[in-house]
Amino acid sequence: MNQVATLGGGCFWCLEAVFLELRGVVKVVSGYAGGHTTNPTYQAVCSETTGHAEVVQVEFDPNQISFRDVLNIFFTIHDPTTLNRQGNDIGESYRSIVLTHNPEQVQVVKEAIEAFSSIYDQPIVTQIKPLEVFYNAETYHQNYFARNPYQPYCMGVVAPKVAKARKLFTSQLLKH
């Protein structure tokens, strides 16, 4: 039976593009979670009034990739030490957050944070919060990088993260 991880680490286009490269990942959906507004729109989330973060829901086959491997990739492809920021993307909607689906995930996230704490010079500020509700982002955000590889943000921000993932992760984790 497949499992789901809900992760926020800056712009959802970046996370989605990397996770779609991984063996065992069945589906990735960009969306919003962690806030207080019902049915938020992209414009509302960007206004920083909803409390939501841009997140991805990663559906994966645990027989091919573990939740811990998903987290290892997550903590490698974004900077979990910057509060409400990833690069030039600034605001609560770009925070580092793991929205958990069960108590077992909470424990694995805490273990991953502890392990990664020795790698980073600054403290990890990733929020751990139970998922209450996930809202799909608008259709044009789904599979954005694959459909818009020459868009300036994709070329300057998303493509380097995908290249980093391809370089760092073993062929055992990558689909190609």
Residues 6+ apart with CB under 8 A from 175: 21, 22, 23, 25
Residues above pLDDT 90, as percent of the chain? 91
- Please report the pLDDT score of residue 44 as a whole number: 97
Assess if residue 143 is contained within a domain.
Answer: yes
Residues 6+ apart with CB under 8 A from 6: 33, 55, 56, 57, 58, 98, 99, 100, 101, 131, 134
Q: What's the CATH number where 164 sits?
A: 3.30.1060.10
**pLDDT at position 176 over 60:** no
Assess if residue 173 is contained within a domain.
Answer: no
Q: What are the residue ranges of helices labelled H in the chain? A: 12-19, 42-46, 67-77, 103-117, 144-147, 152-153, 159-168
Q: Which residues are designated catalytic?
A: 11
pTM: 0.94
Assess if residue 160 is contained within a domain.
Answer: yes
Q: Give me the domain span that covers residue 44.
A: 3-168
Assess if residue 162 is contained within a domain.
Answer: yes
44-56 confidence digits (pLDDT tens): 999 999 999 999 9
Assess if residue 26 is contained within a domain.
Answer: yes
CB 20 within 8 A of CB 95: no
Assess if residue 174 is contained within a domain.
Answer: no
**pLDDT at position 100 over 90:** yes
Assess if residue 27 is contained within a domain.
Answer: yes
Assess if residue 153 is contained within a domain.
Answer: yes
77-93 confidence digits (pLDDT tens): 999 999 999 988 999 99
- Tell me how many domains the chain contains: 1
